[in-house]
């Protein structure tokens, strides 16, 4: 087997633990932090796991200041508000506690505090001049992988599309994976974020830029997700499933951070930027089966590998047959999670189809996903994929 040249950089210290107090105490000492700026959202700020986190901070003797106004699908304006709150504080460390939006807001706020200016000044790749203050990420959802990524997704308030800041500086210094944070998650919050993690694993494995390192992480992540996502959806008090999902979410993004994600992400980012009410994970769940079907002719073997770790009965099947079983199984997971099957029912319209297709193609060629899709699509092919997702066409073989 010939191994192509590749690079992989480890950005974070990852702590998988059931002792949150010790993890916080160790992080404070390692980062030489004095006071933390804690970023979360208004809903989570009222929940028991946030109260438990604050108690753990006190027991760890880790002073903090709260910012509880993080918003879903943040734009540059809302992130600027968070950044200004951090700048005005005396905090020398930023902690994101929550889902991907809160984690990204904490990361970007830290970057602006150390670099000055506005959030939109740093849209793009390798745009930071100074390393941000230390960042700790504590995920409470198993989906975005924002605890370990070195990019942040931000709605560009001027262009109505998803922009990114991609720079090693905004990677968290420490990711604390604490399974107890997931216990009791409202059932309605599990499907979309879980499908986000699943898509990271799949698109990481079939990626055009995949390496032996990213392949091993993506494959293990998919094994854990495919066997635990529906299980956790059915019982959000299942600590084993919770731990598996949190770890898998980080593993999948350890791969995608290095090599980018594929066309499901390119399309979902375009849709989410234009229709901000559509959750990123939900947008992925609608289009992923279509993207995988589009890539079947060039990734049958790898899709068959995923079918095997999912424990599908592929005995006696060739790679193409097994790959088709995998695609149908992923489509079934979407149904088992009670996720919608079309963009139309989510309120999307097709009057901006040309804009969405052009934006999807642009994202496949620039930023974190540049060169990642295994099969290069034309604008017309993006239109067909988006229309199929809009109309809720089921993949059938």
Instruction: Give the pLDDT band of residue 153 (cuts 50, 70, 90).
Output: confident
Q: Let me know if the fold of 13-182 is the same as that of 187-391.
A: no
Structure pTM? Answer: 0.87
Say if residue 9's pLDDT is above 80: no
pLDDT in tens, 362-376: 999 998 889 999 999
- Residue whose entry in the numeric block shows the structure tokens 């599908």: 312
pLDDT classification of 285: cutoffs 50, 70, 90: very high
Residue 5: predicted pLDDT: 83
What confidence tens digit (pLDDT) does each residue in 234-282 have? 999 999 999 999 999 999 989 988 898 999 999 999 999 889 889 999 9
Residue-wise pLDDT for 14-54, tens only, equals: 999 999 999 999 999 999 999 999 999 999 999 999 999 99
Which sign does the torsion angle of CA 215, 219, 221, 226 carry?
Answer: positive
Of the pLDDT bands very low, low, confident and very high (cuts 50, 70, 90), residue 87 is: very high
Alpha helices in the chain (DSSP H): 20-31, 48-59, 76-88, 100-115, 190-205, 212-234, 239-259, 263-274, 280-294, 296-309, 319-336, 353-365, 379-391
pLDDT value at 1 more than 80: no
Radius of gyration of the chain measured on its C-alpha atoms: 20
Whole-angstrom distance, CA of residue 237 vs CA of residue 185:
8
pLDDT band at 172 (very low <50, low <70, confident <90, very high): very high
Mean pLDDT computed over 310-321: 96
Domain ranges in the chain are: 13-182, 187-391
- pLDDT averaged over every residue in the chain: 94
pLDDT reading at 159 higher than 90: no
* Distance from C-alpha of 367 to C-alpha of 126, rounded to nearest angstrom: 10
Binned at pLDDT 50, 70 and 90, residue 72 comes out as confident
pLDDT of 350:
95
Q: What is the pLDDT of residues 190-231, one digit of tens each?
A: 999 999 999 999 999 999 999 999 999 999 999 999 999 999
The architecture (CATH level 2) of 13-182 comes to 3-Layer(aba) Sandwich (3.40)
Who contacts 255 (Cβ-Cβ below 8 Å, separation ≥6)?
200, 201, 204, 205, 207, 210, 213, 214, 215, 217, 218, 221
- CA 132, distance to chain mean position in Å, is 21
User: Which class is domain 187-391?
Assistant: mainly alpha
DSSP class per residue in 182-199: GTT--GGGHHHHHHHHHH
pLDDT tier for residue 345 given thresholds of 50, 70 and 90: very high
Distance of CA 294 to the CA centre of its chain: 22
Residue 252 is predicted with a pLDDT of 93
Least-confidence region, from 95-109, 136-150, 306-320, 340-354: 136-150
């Amino acid at each position: 087997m010939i191994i192509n040249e590749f690079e992989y950089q480890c950005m974070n210290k990852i702590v998988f633990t059931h002792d949150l107090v010790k993890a916080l105490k160790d992080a404070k000492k390692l980062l030489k932090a004095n006071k933390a700026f804690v970023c979360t959202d208004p809903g989570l700020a009222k929940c028991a796991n946030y109260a438990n986190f604050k108690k753990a901070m006190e027991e760890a003797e880790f002073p903090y200041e709260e910012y509880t106004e993080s918003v879903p699908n943040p734009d540059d304006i809302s992130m600027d508000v968070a950044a200004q709150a951090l700048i005005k504080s005396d905090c020398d460390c930023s902690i994101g506690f929550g889902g991907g939006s809160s984690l990204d807001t904490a990361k970007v706020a830290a970057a602006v505090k150390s670099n000055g200016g506005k959030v939109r000044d740093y849209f793009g790749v390798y745009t930071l001049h100074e390393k941000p203050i230390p960042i700790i990420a504590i995920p409470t959802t198993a989906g975005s992988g924002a605890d370990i990524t070195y990019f942040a997704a931000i709605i560009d308030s001027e262009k109505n599309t998803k922009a990114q800041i991609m720079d090693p500086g905004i990677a968290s210094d420490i990711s604390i994976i604490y399974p107890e944070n997931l216990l009791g998650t409202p059932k309605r919050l599990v499907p979309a974020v879980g499908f986000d993690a699943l898509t990271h694993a799949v698109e990481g494995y079939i990626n055009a830029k995949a390496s032996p390192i990213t392949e091993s992480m993506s494959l293990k992540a998919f094994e854990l997700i495919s066997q635990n996502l529906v299980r956790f959806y059915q019982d959000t008090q299942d600590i084993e499933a919770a731990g598996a999902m949190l770890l898998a979410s980080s593993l999948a993004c350890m791969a995608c951070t290095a090599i980018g994600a594929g066309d499901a992400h390119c399309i979902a980012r375009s849709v989410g930027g234009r229709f901000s009410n559509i959750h990123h994970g939900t947008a992925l769940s609608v289009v992923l089966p279509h993207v995988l079907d589009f890539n079947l002719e060039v990734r049958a073997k790898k899709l068959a590998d995923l079918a095997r770790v999912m424990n599908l009965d592929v005995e006696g099947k060739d790679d193409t047959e097994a790959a088709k079983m995998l695609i149908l199984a992923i489509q079934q997971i979407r149904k088992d999670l009670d996720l919608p099957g079309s963009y139309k029912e989510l309120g999307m319209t097709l009057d901006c189809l040309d804009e969405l297709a052009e934006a999807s193609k642009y994202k496949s060629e620039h930023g974190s996903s540049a060169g990642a899709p295994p099969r290069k699509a034309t604008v017309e092919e993006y239109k067909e994929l988006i229309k199929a997702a809009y109309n809720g066409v089921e993949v059938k073989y």
